[in-house]
């Protein structure tokens, strides 16, 4: 992977493609550059997975619950 310098010393490190690093280096994506410039510290991958799973399942729950529940009585 090529080394692509970015704004304020930001560089494309492990996991950042040269294309993405190039976009960061142009300054066209300041929020993306800021996200890569910050050190988020340790990431709890289990918590990230759990949150994502709950969001997906919550989306299904909203789609599955009918707005009208027919009565079974005659």
Kindly state whether residue 74 falls inside one of the protein's structural domains: no
Lowest mean pLDDT among 1-15, 22-36, 51-65: 1-15
Kindly state whether residue 27 falls inside one of the protein's structural domains: yes
Kindly state whether residue 71 falls inside one of the protein's structural domains: no
pLDDT at 17 over 70: yes
Kindly state whether residue 57 falls inside one of the protein's structural domains: yes
Across 31-37, average pLDDT: 84
Kindly state whether residue 44 falls inside one of the protein's structural domains: yes
Can you tell me whether residue 24 is helix, strand or coil?
helix
Residues 64, 71: Cα–Cα separation, whole Å: 18
Phi then psi dihedrals of residue 9, to 5 deg: 80, 0
Domain count along the chain? 1
**CA of residue 17 relative to chain centroid, distance:** 16
Which structural domain, as residue segments, surrounds residue 55?
7-64
pLDDT confidence band for 58 (50 / 70 / 90):
confident
Name the residue with higher pLDDT: 6 or 51: 51
């Amino acid at each position: 992977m090529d080394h692509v310098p970015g704004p304020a010393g930001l560089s494309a490190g492990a996991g950042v493609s040269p294309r993405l690093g190039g976009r960061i280096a142009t300054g066209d994506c300041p929020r993306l550059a800021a996200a890569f410039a910050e050190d988020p510290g340790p990431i709890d991958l289990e918590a990230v997975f759990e949150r994502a799973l709950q969001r997906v399942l919550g989306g299904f729950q909203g789609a599955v619950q009918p707005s009208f529940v027919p009565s079974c009585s005659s």
